[in-house]
C-alpha cells in the first residue's frame, strides 16, 4: 500500500488555469449546469439497460479494488453495495453525457484519488477526480466544497477532460497530460490508460 501511495504522489500534478474564450466558458458552464438537458435522453429504456449491465460487470471489480485501499477507508466512503452502485451509476452517466468511456473515468479516478471521495492534494485539487477549485470560479459556480459532492465532482472532471480532448483534437495522451498539468510527459497518461485497461472486460 505504501508503494501505491508513493506512486500516486509521484504522478500528482496540477490542472492549470488557462484563458477561456467567452464562447468556451459559456459552453462549459452549460455543461456543468444542474439544468441537465441530457438526462431524458440518457434514461431511455435501452440505455438504462446498458447502464445496468455495465454496473453489474463493474461492481465486483470495484469492490475488489476498494478492498486494496487504506484499511477502513473504503468502508466509510463506499462500504455498502448501494454506495458502490451510486458511484458506478454516476460515473456511467457523467462519462456518457460527456462522450467519454466510463472505464476511462474509473481509471482516472483510480490514479488521481484512489477512490477517496474527500481527497485533497498538496496543490488543493479536490475529490475523486481531483478538480482544481479555480474551475468553480471560471464557471461561475459557488462554494468549491461542492466538489466533494459525488455528482458535482465527477461531472466537472468529465466536462474538463472532454474540453481537453476537444482542444487536443481527440488525442487522449495529450488531453490527459493537460488534465494533470503535465502535458507532453508520459508517466501520467500511461498510468491512466493502464488503469483504464484493467477496468475493461
Angle between the 187-199 and 102-113 helix axes, to the nearest 10 degrees?
120
Q: Would you state the pLDDT for residue 20?
A: 62
In a domain, 25, yes or no: no
In a domain, 122, yes or no: yes
- pLDDT in 10s for each residue of the chain, 201 residues: 333 443 444 455 566 667 665 666 676 777 667 555 556 666 676 788 899 999 999 999 999 888 876 546 666 788 889 999 999 999 999 999 899 999 999 999 999 999 999 999 988 899 999 998 888 877 766 678 888 989 989 998 999 999 999 999 999 999 999 999 888 899 999 999 999 999 997
In a domain, 51, yes or no: yes
In a domain, 54, yes or no: yes
In a domain, 59, yes or no: yes
Q: Domain total for the chain?
A: 1
In a domain, 16, yes or no: no
**How far is C-alpha 104 from the chain's CA centre?**
8
In a domain, 128, yes or no: yes
In a domain, 4, yes or no: no
Range of the domain at 145: 37-199
Q: What is the CATH number of the domain that holds 128?
A: 1.10.530.10
Amino acid at each position: 500500500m505504501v508503494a501505491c501511495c508513493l506512486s500516486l504522489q509521484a504522478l500528482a500534478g496540477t490542472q492549470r488555469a488557462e484563458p477561456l474564450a467567452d464562447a468556451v466558458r459559456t459552453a462549459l458552464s452549460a455543461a456543468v449546469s444542474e439544468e441537465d438537458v441530457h438526462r431524458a435522453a440518457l434514461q431511455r429504456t435501452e440505455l438504462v439497460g446498458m447502464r445496468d449491465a455495465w454496473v453489474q460487470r463493474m461492481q465486483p471489480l470495484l469492490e475488489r479494488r476498494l478492498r486494496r485501499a487504506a484499511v477502513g477507508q473504503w468502508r466509510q466512503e463506499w462500504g455498502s453495495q448501494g454506495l458502490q452502485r451510486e458511484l458506478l451509476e454516476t460515473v456511467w452517466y457523467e462519462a456518457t453525457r460527456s462522450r467519454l468511456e466510463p472505464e476511462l473515468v474509473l481509471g482516472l479516478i483510480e490514479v488521481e484519488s484512489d477512490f477517496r471521495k474527500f481527497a485533497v492534494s498538496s496543490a488543493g485539487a479536490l475529490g475523486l477526480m481531483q478538480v482544481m477549485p479555480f474551475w468553480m470560479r471560471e464557471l461561475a459556480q459557488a462554494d468549491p466544497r461542492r466538489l466533494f459532492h459525488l455528482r458535482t465532482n465527477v461531472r466537472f472532471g468529465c466536462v474538463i477532460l472532454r474540453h481537453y480532448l476537444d482542444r487536443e483534437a481527440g488525442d487522449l495522451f495529450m488531453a490527459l497530460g493537460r488534465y494533470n498539468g503535465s502535458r507532453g510527459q508520459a508517466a501520467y497518461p500511461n498510468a491512466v490508460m493502464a488503469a483504464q485497461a484493467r477496468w475493461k472486460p
